Structure 1
């Protein structure tokens, strides 16, 4: 028995100025791809364990994951997908760890086109797919997969479990125990990412209803929040179920019913931002008398949605309001890192920081913020994740510097990076629990680690490539009408 197992993950923000060449994926191939996932918390790791458990021969052509950014370079997409498609002939089953919201320079349906090529290369071979909760599911994806399962958590902590779920169903097909097909219902609803958390609100309820359908006998039911920062035909929510072929009519009716429930609450999937100044004043009130830091989440510039990690709006407004005791990080400015390292630890410097990547797709160009401070620490920017997301993974932010301006201590990095863990501060000798405010460029992934250590959380919407203000994005390809761009 020969099973193809591969990983190719990218969430594409078509408005992001951050490029996505093949180097952004840090791809591994063959045996190295196997080792990169074996024992980890990825869906591919679960596929590996299941396949090895049945004594199968594994074919692992590629494992590649890039942080969310602009459209994938055509050459990168072609090379990575070619390796998967070329490995398909002769395999008895195919298990793919994908994202579901990939856009390349020459295709708006990255996963759909890949799955169609895989299906053509190995006709009749069962194909199982694990997807991110923020996948933009398409008809081509559904038509070319036998099993499709999405994450049920955001922040995502069930990547492995999702892979195990999809893999377990596909192996049932392989053993002749069942024949599956995929049913789906896509809604004309562009949800906001901050309203797709499964910790509370309508998405939590929708996912619980999906679980209830699974408990009633449907093999897999997934609610996809979609990723709306993509100018494609339908960056929208959907409900997807994997069912036995003979149960397809009843399953489709259940999927349609869950989709109707989501649509009835569509207004709750829209995030309403408050003015930045109001957010910061609220944070200042929360900090009065607090013994723990207040979190300031700059979700308008979050690299895990395609942000540049270099906008300065929130820090600048906080300083103008007189806030002090701020730890900031990580802020990506490789030019500044070079200058600060050249100045040396202990040096007093005056430097232009951030706002160096033009946001031309949303009509913004900003001036760097001139700051004076002291270089407190220099590090290689490496740390190991201790929290529940990517536990045990070694992270690298590039060369990293701590700049102390008095009111703020800023972690400046060479690479964009999500604050997964306290390690983003520990690597330069900072204890984040000792500050009044923690300014993190994050939407959701920081929360499992940082919220328990905080006195409160304030979401700060700044004008960046991941802002929650849809009015800033020039959508031209989205099929209309769609809520909330249109009154429906």
Structure 2
């Protein structure tokens, strides 16, 4: 048999001012934009990606495959039409040339110019050239679902972890159902329901309640053979599109739809009854930093979740670092902050030189009515690196990442890392590649939400969440939503949501 395997991933924050052109889709490769053909295969194989699982499975079967695209971008603003058309055409053209099945490693929350559901549009285009083609899709835990995405897939499986450490396994799960379909052993049918809930990402992790019991039931249903695939998706709430919400999705064999429907009802009812528990209570930034200052031991991880590039933030908002400095925290490593201009200044000064400069605050956020505010820093340039490192932790293991040129400013009690490219610190390599051991620091100030737990959780003695400003805020009242399906919780009260979940 011949398969088409492709990876196209982006989580789109429609409130982010950060553009997402074709060149942004170079995450995990050394190309200026998406990797294609043999370069895509080389960049993917041996990594913790669903597409890597697809490759391994097809090779073990002795079958053939082509990989027209590996395009992965750091979460940011709306994807340009040029980028989406290039990537989708690469994939559709490969299908048009002939294959027995398609295996896609997608995100599920990509918004492109003209297409609020870019993944659904990609599947629609594939169906247009190959109406009966079996299509397996692996999706991120934060996927949002339109009818086009669900109706045009043969099998769908989603990550069951957050931080996402089971990406390869998700590919295995999706592929298992596809292969059974190709052998004529099953007839997959997809059942799904999206609830009108804007869940808070700080309350979504399957490691903890309220999601844990729901995910445990989902895992048991797939493990015990009640259904072919079972997934619950927390959804990505920072997109102003009609199909946002928590989704339960089951892939059942055609002869077992009735039991699967009852399972779907039970799972969505469980989630809906817990809707209030999916809301994160926000604490003022200064109070969180003050609490951290009172803690004993270390490392104490300070997590600025309002400006997390893993959800579309600019990674250059300096308010939390300014508060850390104001309150006099000592023995701190902070960053990486994205500011190419500041990096260039530090490189021009040279290692060992003392420099005063403004860092960050270069990005305005019109949707949030926030102006960038640079922070004046003075220190000695400690080191300069190329910013390249390979992930060794459990999330996207083996993937090569780049911060671009990177410099570290030593301010005495605080080390500040500044880079040219945004990168959420889910792996300690962001610091260790520059010779900094975060495990030896009292405080680690990073911009993240949940993914930091993959690499920094094992070394953290305390974790303090800090609500800094930015387009990743957990205060949904700050977002000018216009296109959501309404009513939706918690923007509307329960009295307005009587039948919304049915």
TM-score by length of 1: 0.97
Equivalent position to 1:299, from 286, 295, 305: 305
Give the distance between the partners of 1:248 and 1:126, measured in 2 at CA: 19
Within the candidate set 89, 104, 107, 1:99 is matched to: 107
Equivalent residues in 2 for 1:166-315, closer than 5 Å: 166-214=174-222, 215-286=224-295, 288=296, 290=297, 292-315=298-321
1:21-170 correspondence to structure 2 within 5 Å: 21-26=21-26, 27-89=34-96, 90-170=98-178
1:279-428 residue pairs with structure 2 within 5 A? 279-286=288-295, 288=296, 290=297, 292-428=298-434
Distance 2:434 2:428 in 1: 11
In 2, Cα distance between the equivalents of 1:427 and 1:331?
Answer: 16
Provide the rounded CA distance (Å) in 2 between the counterparts of 1:67 and 1:32: 20
Q: CA deviation at 1:448?
A: 2.4
Deviation at 1:246, TM superposition (A): 2.2
Specify the alignment match of 2:10 in structure 1: 10
> Which ranges in structure 2 are unaligned for 5 or more consecutive residues?
27-33, 495-502
* 1:456 equivalenced with 2:465 (yes/no): no
2:192–2:264 contact (8 Å) kept in structure 1: yes
Deviations 1:265-287 (A, max 9, x none): 0011111111111101110111x
- Cα deviation for residue 446 of structure 1 reads 1.6
Q: What SS does the corresponding residue of 1:258 show, helix, strand or coil?
A: helix
C-alpha contact (below 8 Å) 2:14/2:78 kept by paired residues:
yes
Q: Which is worse superposed, 309-318 or 209-218?
A: 209-218
The alpha carbon displacement at 1:216 in A equals 4.9
* TM superposition shift of 1:380: 0.9
Give CA deviations for 1:38-57 in whole Å, capped at 9, x if unaligned.
22211011111111222221
Q: State the SS of the aligned residue for 1:181.
A: strand
Separation in structure 1 between the aligned mates of residue 340 and residue 372 of structure 2, nearest angstrom: 17
- Per-residue CA deviations over 1:208-236 (Å, capped at 9, x if unaligned) read 01112222521111000000000001211
Aligned residues: 485
SS at match of 2:306: helix
Judge conservation of contact 1:299–1:460 (CA < 8 Å) in 2.
yes
Which secondary structure state, in structure 1, belongs to the residue aligned with residue 68 of structure 2?
Answer: coil
Q: Return structure 1 stretches of 4+ with deviation > 3 angstroms.
A: none
The alpha-carbon deviation at position 382 of structure 1 amounts to 1.5
- Contact 1:145 1:181 (8 Å CA) reproduced: no
Task: Determine if contact 2:48/2:398 at 8 Å carries over to the other structure.
Answer: no
